[in-house]
Chain A
Amino acid sequence: AQSVTQLGSHVSVSEGALVLLRCNYSSSVPPYLFWYVQYPNQGLQLLLKYTSAATLVKGINGFEAEFKKSETSFHLTKPSAHMSDAAEYFCAVSDESGYSTLTFGKGTMLLVSP
């Protein structure tokens, strides 16, 4: 079975500050890992994904994440927060077979203050 733990249900940063959202996973097989963003009352939009290629993955809107197998982590970062980054972020894991079910974390709400 696979699982995802997102540390911190809410993270607050100031505009221009570093964003760090933490994600740890558990998987008995090589994982695929994803970060999605959700704006209020909307569906989920893919930010980036790790599919066993480069361990440092760059996504949209200046976000990136690094796959660290030894730490079973896939933390999401952005060097400088923007007001428009305020949203809920979900980390997800699936096995590497493709087309398989995604298991999501509980989400982290990112709050950005001026």
Chain B
Amino acid sequence: SQTIHQWPATLVQPVGSPLSLECTVEGTSNPNLYWYRQAAGRGLQLLFYSVGIGQISSEVPQNLSASRPQDRQFILSSKKLLLSDSGFYLCAWRGQDEAFFGQGTRLTVV
């Protein structure tokens, strides 16, 4: 069966520091992968999606970037975090009929 791993679960980072969140998928090949951010009262905002290695689409301009160095690995990064980057970040992969989500990373920028 397919599983999705996301880490770390929680992260506290100072403003201006770099960020790297990692997501890996098992049990499937060539998955469509997604990064969402969840802020209170705003639902899930799609940040990036990828249909293959090295293929990244950005949905909103922001301080973040994404990379897909391997088929089942998806990384969310920032060179310098802002306070507004705080939130709950979710990685997901899309199967034919539904999307599967990781457990999320709670990022607090201080």
- Interface, chain A (partner B; CB < 8 A): 9, 32, 34, 36, 41-46, 49, 51, 90, 92, 98-107
Q: Which chain B residues (72-106) contact chain A, with CB distance < 8 Å?
A: 88, 90, 92, 94-104, 106
Identify whether the interface residues of A are mostly helix, strand, loop, or mixed: loop
Closest Cβ of chain B to A34, distance in Å, is 6
Chain B residues whose CB sits within 8 angstroms of the CB of A99 once the complex forms: 32, 94-96
Instruction: A49-B98, A102-B94 are known; give 19 further A-B pairs, CB within 8 A.
Output: A32-B97, A42-B103, A42-B104, A43-B6, A44-B92, A45-B101, A46-B98, A90-B43, A90-B44, A99-B32, A99-B94, A101-B34, A101-B94, A102-B92, A102-B99, A104-B44, A106-B41, A107-B43, A107-B44
Closest Cβ of chain A to B7, distance in Å, is 12
Chain A residues whose CB sits within 8 angstroms of the CB of B49 once the complex forms: 101
CB-based contact B90/A44 at 8 Å: yes
Pull 25 A–B residue pairs with CB atoms less than 8 Å apart, ordered by A: A34-B98, A34-B99, A36-B101, A41-B9, A41-B88, A41-B106, A42-B103, A43-B90, A43-B101, A43-B102, A43-B103, A44-B92, A45-B101, A46-B98, A49-B97, A49-B98, A51-B97, A90-B43, A90-B44, A98-B96, A99-B95, A101-B34, A101-B46, A103-B46, A104-B36
